[in-house]
Chain A
C-alpha cells in the first residue's frame, strides 16, 4: 500500500459520511456536512488549478517555439482578456455578458447546427458503405422519428401512437437497463473505495 495515510483518510471519511446517512446522530450529521463542504471547497480550488495549468501549458508551448501554436496564442489571449474584463467589471456586467452572448453561445450553437448537417450526411454515407439489416432498420427508424416529430404529422393518430410507443416503451426499457447498470456500478465502486481495494486518489 503506497499511501496508507491517504487510504485511511479516504476510508474514514467515506465511512463517516455513509454512517451519517443511516444514523441521524447530531455529531455524525455535523461531521458529514463539514466534510462535504470541504469537498466543495477543494473542487473549486481544483478548478482554479486546472485553469492555471491550462494557461501554463499553452504559454510553455508558445515559449518553446512550436510551429503549430496558433491555437495556443488564441487561447492565451482570449483567456487573459476574459479574466481581466470579467474580473474588472464583474460577471454580470454588460461587457462580460457581451463576451458570453456574442462569442461563446454563438460558437457552441453553431457547432451543434453543424452536427445536425454532419449527422444527415453520415446517415446517407452509411448506406453506401454498409448495407445490412441493422443499418437499414436504423435508417428507417431515424426517418420515421424525424417525420413524426415534425408538426405536420405530430398529431396523426396512428403515427403519433407508434412514436410514443417507441419513445416510452422501447427507449425507456433500454434506459432502465442502463440506469440499473449505472447504479450497480456506483455501489460496487463505493464499496471498493471503502474497503481500500480501489484507490483512485493514490495516483
Chain B
C-alpha cells in the first residue's frame, strides 16, 4: 500500500512542460528551469498529457532529487511480471484516486485512513496537506498576476500558430521578388514602429534575405510523395539517392541589386557606350585608301626616277677619288698591299642575294685589288647560296681578270652547320670540304696534287688573309669567335678583315675598335667601297652606284621632310579647331 501512496503522490506532482522536471503542486516556478507553473490550473489536464511518455515514466530518483531514493518502486527482474505488476498498480491507483477525490470533497476520514500510507514520505511532503494544496490552487486562480501571465501565454500561442500558418502559406506559394518585399513593407508600416529611412548599405543587404531559398518544414521535406516505382503514391518513402543527386533544374535565385538613381544612370550610360562599340561601323571611305596608294606610288616613282636619272647621267670622271678614307679602310688596303704574288686568300661570301648589289659594290674593289696582287682565291660560305653568289660576283665584277676556275680561284662550296661547321673547317679544312663545288677533289691525294689555289694549305692559318663579306652581324660574330683563334694559332698570325653592309656596321665595328683588334680591317657598304676605290684609283662598281646612291638618299630625305611637315600640319589642324570650339563653349 505504500507503493500506492507513492503513485498518488506522483499523480499530484506537476511536471514542468519546459524541462520535464517533477515539481510539487504548491510550487509556482519550476525548481529546475524556473519556468512559470501558474497556468497549470487551466491546462492541468492537457499539461500532464503533453509531457512525453518517456519523461512521464521517469522517476524523480533518476532525476537526482533528494528524498526519493528510498521510495523507488522495486521492479522485479523478471520482465514477464511487469505487465501483471502494472495492472495491479493501475487498479490500486484507481482506488486511491477515488479515495483522494473523496478527501478533496472534505471527507476527512478518508484522509485519515490514508495517512497510514504516508509514513515513508519525506519531511517536506509530510507537511503538505491536501488542504494546503487546495488553498494554493485557489490562490493561483484568484491571483491577478497569474491571470495576466496566463493570458500572455494564450496570446503567445495564438501568435505562434498564426506565424506557423504564414510559413506554411509561404511554402505553398512561390516567393517572387515583389512578394518577398511585402513582409518588409508590412513591418515598416506597423503603427507601433517609428518609420525611419534605412541607409543605403542596409538596403543593399536585403537581397541576401530575399534570394534565400524558402524554408521547408521538416515534415514536408521528409514526407515526400513517391512518384514512381512500386512505392508510387506513398508518402514519406526514404529516397534511394540523396536529394542533391536528383535530376532537376536548380532554382534560379533572382539577384536584384538595390542601386541608387545615380548608379542606375551611370549603368545606363556604360551600357549605351558598350552598345555603341559593338555596333558595326561603316568602312572608311575608299578615298582614304586610294590616297594612301597614290602616295606610295608617288614616293616610289620619285625615288626610282631620281636614281635612274643619276645612273644614266653620272660622270664617273667627276666622282670623288680622294674621299676622306676611314682608318679601317686604309688598314684593309695596307694588308692587301702587303700580300705577295702566289699568296692564298680565303674569301667567304656570307650574304643573301637581296643585299648583293650593296655588297658586290663594296667588295668589288677589294677583290680587284687582291687579284691585282696576284693571289689565289678560295671561296667558302656557310649559306647554301653563298657559293653561287661568289661565282656570280667573280663573273660580273671581275671580268677584266679572266679568271679560270681551279686555277685562279677555287670554290669549296657550302659549309654546313654554321658555327659547328666553321669550327670544323678551322680545325681541318681538308676533311670538312674535300671537294669543290664542281665535285672535284680539291686537296689531291697520293697520286694527284692539290688544286693550285690550295697548294700548301693544311690548316686555316696557312692562308695569308681571310676576307669575310657579310650582311648579318651574327655570321660575322661566328667567324670572329670561331675562326679567329685558329688564325692566330700559327707563327704568322693571319689577319681577318670584314666587308659588311651598312646595317651590320654598328655590331661589327666594336670588334675593330677593340684593343687588341679582333678584326684588322673593315669596309662598310657602298661608302666604304667608294673610299677603297679612291685608294686604288681604279674604276669600279662603287663609282657607278655612288652618285645614284647619294641622289636617292637626298630624295628620300626630302620626301620624309616634306611629308612629315604636311602630316604634322594635318594632325594639328583639327586639334586647333577642337580647341577653339571647346573654348567658345
Chain A residues with CB under 8 Å of chain B are 33, 36-37, 39-44, 47, 90-92, 96-97, 100-101, 104-105, 107-109, 111-112, 114, 116-118, 120-121, 123-125, 127-128, 131, 139, 142-143, 146-147, 149-152, 154-155, 160, 167-168, 171-172, 174-176, 178-179, 182
Interface membership of B355, Cβ < 8 A? yes
23 examples of A-B residue contacts, CB within 8 angstroms: A36-B420, A39-B424, A40-B420, A40-B421, A42-B417, A43-B421, A47-B384, A91-B387, A92-B391, A105-B356, A112-B354, A128-B568, A131-B568, A131-B571, A139-B560, A142-B560, A147-B553, A150-B551, A151-B546, A155-B320, A155-B323, A167-B505, A178-B507
Interface membership of B431, Cβ < 8 A? yes
Cα A41 to Cα B395 with chains together (Å): 30
* A105 close to B353 (CB less than 8 A): yes
Known contacts: A47-B384, A167-B505. The answer to whether A112 contacts B355 by CB under 8 A is: yes
B300: nearest chain-A partner, CB-CB: A117
* B353 close to A108 (CB less than 8 A): yes
Interface residues of B in 325-359 (CB under 8 A from A): 352-357
Contacts of B423 in A (CB 8 A): 36
Interface membership of B549, Cβ < 8 A? yes
* B384 close to A91 (CB less than 8 A): no
Interface membership of B7, Cβ < 8 A? no
A164: nearest chain-B partner, CB-CB: B326
Q: Is the interface of A mostly helix, strand, loop or mixed?
A: helix
Give the interface centre of B355, B384, B547, B556 by most chain A CB atoms within 10 Å.
B556
Contacts of A107 in B (CB 8 A): 353
Cα A101 to Cα B416 with chains together (Å): 23
Contacts of B387 in A (CB 8 A): 91
Known contacts: A120-B559, A146-B553, A168-B509. The answer to whether A154 contacts B527 by CB under 8 A is: yes
* B296 close to A179 (CB less than 8 A): no
Interface residues of B in 522-581 (CB under 8 A from A): 527, 546-547, 549-554, 556-557, 559-561, 563-564, 567-568, 570-572
* B415 close to A176 (CB less than 8 A): no
Chain B residues with CB under 8 Å of chain A are 295-296, 299-300, 303, 319-320, 323-324, 352-357, 384-385, 387-388, 391-392, 395, 405, 411, 415-418, 420-421, 423-424, 427-428, 431-432, 437-439, 477, 505-507, 509-510, 513, 527, 546-547, 549-554, 556-557, 559-561, 563-564, 567-568, 570-572
Contact of B385 among A92, A100, A117 (CB under 8 A): A100
* A151 close to B550 (CB less than 8 A): yes
Cα A33 to Cα B423 with chains together (Å): 9
* B421 close to A128 (CB less than 8 A): no
Known: A37-B431, A127-B564. 17 other contacts (CB 8 A): A37-B432, A40-B424, A43-B417, A91-B437, A97-B388, A105-B356, A105-B392, A107-B353, A109-B356, A120-B559, A127-B571, A142-B557, A150-B549, A150-B553, A151-B547, A168-B509, A182-B477
Cα A104 to Cα B384 with chains together (Å): 13
* A101 close to B550 (CB less than 8 A): no
Cα A173 to Cα B377 with chains together (Å): 35
Contact of A143 among B391, B505, B560, B570 (CB under 8 A): B560
Give the interface centre of A111, A112, A124 by most chain B CB atoms within 10 Å.
A124
Contacts of A160 in B (CB 8 A): 324
Known contacts: A36-B424, A37-B431, A108-B352. The answer to whether A97 contacts B392 by CB under 8 A is: yes
* A172 close to B416 (CB less than 8 A): no
* A116 close to B323 (CB less than 8 A): no
* B354 close to A109 (CB less than 8 A): yes
Cα A172 to Cα B300 with chains together (Å): 32
* B421 close to A116 (CB less than 8 A): no
Q: Write the nearest CB–CB distance from B559 to chain A, whole angstroms.
A: 6
Cα A151 to Cα B310 with chains together (Å): 12
Cα A131 to Cα B573 with chains together (Å): 13
Cα A36 to Cα B559 with chains together (Å): 52
Contact of B506 among A33, A96, A112, A175 (CB under 8 A): A175
Contacts of A96 in B (CB 8 A): 388
Contacts of A40 in B (CB 8 A): 415-417, 420-421, 424, 432
* B560 close to A120 (CB less than 8 A): yes
Cα A111 to Cα B352 with chains together (Å): 12
Contacts of A36 in B (CB 8 A): 420, 423-424, 427
Contact of B510 among A91, A116, A175 (CB under 8 A): A175
Q: Write the nearest CB–CB distance from B427 to chain A, whole angstroms.
A: 5
Cα A189 to Cα B320 with chains together (Å): 49
B513: nearest chain-A partner, CB-CB: A172
Known contacts: A92-B437, A127-B563, A151-B547. The answer to whether A171 contacts B296 by CB under 8 A is: no
Cα A142 to Cα B551 with chains together (Å): 16
Contact of B567 among A33, A42, A91, A127 (CB under 8 A): A127
B352: nearest chain-A partner, CB-CB: A108
Contacts of B564 in A (CB 8 A): 123-124, 127, 139
* B385 close to A104 (CB less than 8 A): yes
Known contacts: A92-B437, A121-B299. The answer to whether A109 contacts B357 by CB under 8 A is: yes
Cα A49 to Cα B269 with chains together (Å): 61
A113: nearest chain-B partner, CB-CB: B304
Contacts of B505 in A (CB 8 A): 167, 171
Closest 9 CB pairs of A and B: A124-B563, A43-B417, A150-B550, A128-B567, A108-B354, A151-B550, A44-B416, A171-B506, A146-B557
Contacts of B300 in A (CB 8 A): 114, 117
* B421 close to A97 (CB less than 8 A): no
B575: nearest chain-A partner, CB-CB: A131
Cα A152 to Cα B547 with chains together (Å): 9
Contacts of A47 in B (CB 8 A): 384, 416
Contact of B571 among A111, A128, A179 (CB under 8 A): A128
